[in-house]
Amino acid sequence: MSVKTPVIVVNFKTYLEASGPAAVELARLCSQISRDSGASIVVAPPLPDISLVASSVDIPVFAQHLDPVPSGSTTGHVTVENARSSGARGTLVNHSERRIKIAEIHEVIDRCRKAELETIVCTNNLAVSKACAAMEPDFVAIEPPELIGGDVSVTTANPKIVSDTVEAIRSISGNVHVLTGAGVKNGKDVSKALELGTEGVLLSSGVVKAKDRKSVLQDLVSGLR
């Protein structure tokens, strides 16, 4: 695996504040913070910006979604090999905003393994987390519904949700790294996420929509120590 852990994964989603030239700008900021702090940071820009972002920064660039189809006569899809040609080093899979079929999750993981791309499969509860761990992606990012949205953070909510999921995933496979995929807003949340047994965090608006992105990122990476 080439992505170092613990890691902070920044999902740009399709926010216009992080699209086109603004995607390159945010990726460069993440890259600078990574260089300055030594922290491992991964960025997942909008799909149309992968090539340009990957040619602009040294930190790993991930796709937000890949289609389990072969390259060739598959117009309008993004294949694993397309992503690799464009400089991507991995991909999110089954994000809550882009759920896919179970056979597709397996096929994307399989194709990515062959193409040496890494996979972060997003899951919505304990049973689905175990199910996805059984397919042995590189990462499972757990998004307990209790932690999504609002002001609830992993430090204040019942932390047992996270540690129980980590344990359940461990019972299925020892090869899967777990990320805290919801409820992270600051460095303290990052610390707590690591303390609960996960090896990093996946977050989005906390960074993308921040007034002072640099300060937010510096605070987040401080939580990795």
Are 53 and 27 in contact by the 8 Å Cβ rule? The answer is yes
Edge-to-edge strands of the sheet including 62-63?
40-44, 7-11, 200-203, 177-180, 139-142, 118-123, 90-93, 62-63
Shorter beta-carbon distance to its own copies: residue 63 or 194: 63
Shorter beta-carbon distance to its own copies: residue 99 or 225: 99
**What is the torsion angle, in degrees rounded to the nearest 10, for the CA atoms of residue 65, residue 33, residue 182 and residue 18?**
-50
Dist. CA 9–CA 41, nearest whole Å: 6
Is position 177 annotated as part of the catalytic site? Answer: no
Of the candidates 163, 88, 177, the one whose C-alpha atom is nearest the C-alpha of residue 132 is 177
Are 87 and 55 in contact by the 8 Å Cβ rule? The answer is yes
Q: Which stretch binds its own copies (CB under 8 A): 28-36, 82-90, 157-165, 181-189?
A: 82-90
Is position 106 annotated as part of the catalytic site? Answer: no
Q: Which stretch binds its own copies (CB under 8 A): 63-71, 153-161, 191-199, 214-222?
A: 63-71
The reply to whether 131 sits near its own copies by the rule CB under 8 A is yes
- Interface pattern 86-125 for its own copies (x via CB under 8 A): xxx---x-xxxxxxxxxxxxx-----------------xx
Q: What is the chain's alpha carbon radius of gyration, rounded to the nearest angstrom?
A: 16
User: Binding residue for its own copies (CB under 8 A) from 118, 136, 138, 199?
Assistant: 136
Sites of contact with its own copies (CB under 8 A): 11, 13-16, 19-24, 46-53, 55, 63-65, 69, 71-79, 81-88, 92, 94-106, 124-125, 127-128, 130-136, 172, 204-205
